[in-house]
Amino acid sequence: MKLRPNAIGITRGQGALLFDEEGKSYIDAVSSWWVNLHGHAHPVIADAIYQQANTLAHCMFAGLTHEPAVAYAEQLLPLLPGTMSKVFYSDNGSCATEIAIKMALQVFHNRGAVRKTIVALEGSYHGDTFGAMAASSRGLFTAPFDDKLFQVVFIPVPTSDNAAVSLAALTKILATQDVAALIIEPLVQGAAGMQMHNAHALSALFKATHEHGAFVIADEVMTGFGRTGTLFACEQLTESPDMICLSKGITGGTLPLAITACSADVFDAFYTDDVTHAFYHGHSYTANPIACAAALASLKLLLSDESTTRRAYIETAHQRFAQEIRQNERIDNVRTCGTIIAMTIKTVGGNGYLSYERDRIYHYFLARGILLRPMGNVLYLIPPYCITHEQLQHIYQAIREFLESDSHADLPII
Ligand SMILES: *Cc1c(COP(=O)(O)O)cnc(C)c1O
């Protein structure tokens, strides 16, 4: 609150734009924390929300069920990679991953087997609650709580260069510890700074995990719903996960909702006559009908030809722009995956989340009507799919100018 006192008052949104109290517009180049898919205040989703609020706004999801939750599960399951058989509703991405971890551990508990180790990737981010933090790499976000977090084994990220090292590390852990699950963000590690890895190498990790009878949890909270060029990132792999966590884009960026989908293998371990085998986890707003109605409307928009065309356009535009700026001496590691483009700005000082470059980048683009939220010295775009050609080209042009600007200029007053 002290260091960043001047939040911008936003009064409305339309398409890829947000408008502040003075009427100034900003292109939302990061989809408001990666959640918005089809644009702000989308009339189709708004109407679905209105209709549902007038019909059934909420009922508890225990002993009761309702059409929007059932319909969404029925429509989503066949679209998911692998053979997912059930969905478990919650209301945010941290819960979705925490639920997946609890499910994996309880499957073995219910089976009377001892398997307690969770394996994750270095640099991983799975959310901000304690279980999700435990599965996330230790650092700035977790430091005050590190002694309270359960132990997780971290392995190197399966990049093209590091495939063998990553697989060897996992194989060793699988051979020496009782692993319950491997949890990963497939293809793109979002909060790590949009770091990308190799589909083939990741598939090898899935395969090794399965050969040892452990589960793979795909945290697609960020990568889901078309971000990586396919509807879900795991479609690009040759092996399937056993659980998939979804949240950010699920309602098109309108209401909180999350899903942990699982295979029949996982579900069956809970489907017994023993009441102690139940999964005792429920949130007050689980499967909220209005959120489910928003998710149904968002899914329909996502599957439309128009959205598919828009995503293909963004992907091609990103690739072209990446090609153009790849050799620029001010940046490293220009990378794209589907509708995501990221680059690392070279700094003379510190790298990482607290890099001084962050504020410089943020204010440079804000002054040009573009809302970015760099992660340290990583500049990235993950725009709503409705972004127009002119808006996207305006952002690229601002990046070109930024790369030519004086990198040692004084920091702006925040
Ligand atoms: C954002 C994110 C989460 C946490 O989701 P919240 O809804 O913010 O709790 C978990 N995993 C990944 C990969 C994310 O990007």
- Percentage above 90 pLDDT, the chain: 93
CA 216/CA 234 separation, integer angstroms: 11
**Among 101, 245, 248, 340, which is best to mutate for testing ligand 1, by the most ligand atoms less than 8 A from CB?**
248
Q: Is the CB–ligand 1 distance for residue 186 below 6 Å?
A: no
What are the E-state strand segments in 186-273?
Answer: 188-189, 195-196, 215-219, 243-246, 258-263
Ligand 1 centroid–CA 220 distance in Å is: 9
The verdict on whether residue 335 carries a ligand-binding annotation is no
**Among 124, 223, 247, which is best to mutate for testing ligand 1, by the most ligand atoms less than 8 A from CB?**
247
**Among 94, 95, 185, which is best to mutate for testing ligand 1, by the most ligand atoms less than 8 A from CB?**
94
Q: How far apart are the first and last CA of the chain?
A: 12
Ligand 1 centroid–CA 373 distance in Å is: 16
The verdict on whether residue 248 carries a ligand-binding annotation is yes
Is the pLDDT at 337 greater than 70, yes or no? Answer: yes
The predicted model gives 134-139 an average pLDDT of 97
Quick one: which of 312, 138, 149 has its CA closest to 226? 312
Ligand 1 centroid–CA 155 distance in Å is: 20
Is the pLDDT at 410 greater than 50, yes or no? Answer: no
Q: What confidence tens digit (pLDDT) does each residue in 381-403 have?
A: 999 999 999 999 999 999 999 99
pLDDT of the residue at 356: 74
Is the pLDDT at 414 greater than 60, yes or no? Answer: no
User: Residue 350: pLDDT band by 50, 70, 90 thresholds?
Assistant: low
The verdict on whether residue 94 carries a ligand-binding annotation is yes
Is the pLDDT at 360 greater than 50, yes or no? Answer: yes
Look up tokens 């977090």; give the residue. 149
Ligand 1 centroid–CA 126 distance in Å is: 6
Q: What confidence tens digit (pLDDT) does each residue in 19-30 have?
A: 999 999 999 999
Which token pair is 26?
Answer: 């900003």
Question: Which ligand 1 atom is at minimum distance from the Cα of 222?
Answer: 15
Is the pLDDT at 411 greater than 50, yes or no? Answer: no
The predicted model gives 331-337 an average pLDDT of 97
Which token pair is 266?
Answer: 């996982």
Contact 5, 350 (CB under 8 A): no
Ligand 1 centroid–CA 124 distance in Å is: 11
**Among 125, 185, 380, which is best to mutate for testing ligand 1, by the most ligand atoms less than 8 A from CB?**
125
Is the pLDDT at 137 greater than 70, yes or no? Answer: yes
Ligand 1 centroid–CA 287 distance in Å is: 18
Is the pLDDT at 407 greater than 90, yes or no? Answer: no
The verdict on whether residue 283 carries a ligand-binding annotation is yes
Q: Is the CB–ligand 1 distance for residue 92 below 6 Å?
A: yes
The predicted model gives 41-70 an average pLDDT of 98
Q: What confidence tens digit (pLDDT) does each residue in 146-166 have?
A: 999 999 999 999 999 999 999
Is the pLDDT at 311 greater than 80, yes or no? Answer: yes
CA 339/CA 173 separation, integer angstroms: 34
Q: Residue 45 belongs to what H/E stretch? A: helix 43-53
Question: Which ligand 1 atom is at minimum distance from the Cα of 219?
Answer: 13
Quick one: which of 217, 214, 249 has its CA closest to 234? 217
pLDDT of the residue at 413: 42
Question: Which ligand 1 atom is at minimum distance from the Cα of 248?
Answer: 7
User: Residue 409: pLDDT band by 50, 70, 90 thresholds?
Assistant: low
pLDDT of the residue at 303: 98
Ligand 1 centroid–CA 163 distance in Å is: 25
The verdict on whether residue 240 carries a ligand-binding annotation is no
What is the phi/psi pair of residue 25, to 5°?
-105, 150
CA 106/CA 103 separation, integer angstroms: 5
Is the pLDDT at 340 greater than 50, yes or no? Answer: yes
